[in-house]
Amino acid sequence: MEDTLYGSRNQRGEWKPTELIKNAPIFAFPPQPLAALKWVFGYPGYLLPWGVFFAGVSTFVWFFLTPPLETLRTLSPGWIAYLLVRNMAMVFLFFGALHLRLYVRRRQGIDYKYNPKWIDGKQPGFLLNSQMAENLIWTFLSGVPIWTAYEVLTLWAFANGFIPWLSFAEHPVYLAVLMLLLPLIHEFHFYCIHRLIHWPPLYRSVHRVHHANINPGPWSSLSMHPVEHLLYFSGALIWWIVPAHPLLAIYNLHYAGLGSVVGHIGFDKIKVGKDGLFDTHAYAHYLHHKYFEVNYADGSIPLDKWFGTFHDGSPEAEEAMKKRRAARASRRKDGVVKSR
């Protein structure tokens, strides 16, 4: 298989890339200005492909698929239902296209697939004994409705002047900088709530729903407990405090909602055309689903490195993770002995 040119498989058939995961150079010390610029504007990097894609989708949605200001001023079932259906359609088309190509038609087999197993068939432990069915239930009955609720309330608040609405004509530089920083803002928020729901009581009652997807696929992306959805999409509330434009709120929600698929594709690369390869940047988060206690953030901000939970895919990172586990087990054992 051609994926051996870029990685290798272990005895269980699990594929891993040869190139180790690296944090973005923007926080490197000493500073690396050329590397930082290449990361921001190069491919693959900060803006390309995902940042520009989600910003473009959000801009199109704001100008062509969002009700006018006069409509948004009054909460009414019509336009609220329209936003819900619109968001469901976007998720269905985007997640569904990836799932259809990679998991139904299996156009590239298991080339670049981290876990060689497929997610179809009977799977006890999931609702209806199906990972796919459970993923769809949590996505469409909880995830997209809660995403839409945040969007409805935020657009309504903008339209009624409860939160400041700045125009791009009057504040082009300020709003452009906010748009540029938005993926970093989302990542910081995601890291904070992610660490929170890994607190054992919340993990057992809330986050375990998402982590049931040890072998994630596109539809695992928004398969979460409703409490996790409430926390996950709460990043949009920053625009209730920071003066901005409604487009940024939509971009924020799209980056969280549609963007959740980035870490859950299950493939490192997608074949495009005859010889092209599209890098998914999914490996870091795949390792989080595999090991549960590493790579809580996306890597643009080196939060995991700062707090000792970074896993770059190397044997050394594997050994460090095992030592942390052993140290925790030892502390728990000591605590039990002392309590006796």
- Measured CA to CA, the distance from residue 208 to residue 185 in angstroms comes to 25
258-315 pLDDT, tens digit per residue, is: 999 999 999 999 999 888 999 998 999 999 999 999 999 999 999 999 999 999 999 9
- Measured CA to CA, the distance from residue 150 to residue 253 in angstroms comes to 8
pLDDT band at 143 (very low <50, low <70, confident <90, very high): very high
Tokens 């607190």 correspond to: 199
Is the confidence at residue 122, as pLDDT, over 90?
no
101, 48: one domain:
yes
- Measured CA to CA, the distance from residue 170 to residue 263 in angstroms comes to 37
119, 67: one domain:
yes
Looking at residue 338, its pLDDT comes to 57
pLDDT band at 337 (very low <50, low <70, confident <90, very high): low
325, 199: one domain:
no
pLDDT band at 257 (very low <50, low <70, confident <90, very high): very high
Cβ atoms of 187 and 300 within 8 Å: the answer is yes
pLDDT band at 1 (very low <50, low <70, confident <90, very high): low
Task: Find the radius of gyration of the CA atoms of the chain.
Answer: 21
254, 326: one domain:
no
- Measured CA to CA, the distance from residue 259 to residue 57 in angstroms comes to 11
Q: In terms of C-beta density within 10 A (0-12 exposed, 13-18 middle, 19 or more buried), how is residue 15 classed?
A: buried
300, 322: one domain:
no
Q: What is the dihedral of CA 264, 267, 272, 274, to 10 degrees?
A: -170
Count of structural domains within the chain: 2
329, 194: one domain:
no
**Buried/exposed 113-144: b ≥16 CB within 10 Å, e otherwise:** bbbeeebeeebeebbeebbbebbbbbbbebbb
323, 191: one domain:
no
Give the SS3 label for residue 159: helix
Looking at residue 334, its pLDDT comes to 74
pLDDT band at 336 (very low <50, low <70, confident <90, very high): low
Cβ atoms of 50 and 152 within 8 Å: the answer is no
- For residue 322 the two structure tokens come to 């095992």
Q: Mean pLDDT across the chain, nearest whole number?
A: 94
Among 301, 280, 287, residue whose Cα is nearest residue 24: 301
284-298 pLDDT, tens digit per residue, is: 999 999 999 999 999
Backbone angles phi, psi at 216, to 5 degrees: -75, 155
Domain extent, residue 141, equals: 2-309
- Measured CA to CA, the distance from residue 59 to residue 288 in angstroms comes to 31
39 C-beta neighbours (distance < 10 Å), count: 20
Average of pLDDT values for 79-90?
A: 98
As a whole number of angstroms, the longest Cα–Cα distance in the chain is 69
Is the confidence at residue 101, as pLDDT, over 70?
yes
Looking at residue 332, its pLDDT comes to 79
115, 21: one domain:
yes
Looking at residue 289, its pLDDT comes to 97
Looking at residue 251, its pLDDT comes to 98
201, 254: one domain:
yes
126, 184: one domain:
yes
Amino acid present at 230? L
- For residue 77 the two structure tokens come to 């079932």
29, 152: one domain:
yes
183-210 pLDDT, tens digit per residue, is: 999 999 999 999 999 999 999 999 999 9
Relative orientation angle of helices 50-64 and 77-99, to the nearest 10 degrees: 150
271, 325: one domain:
no
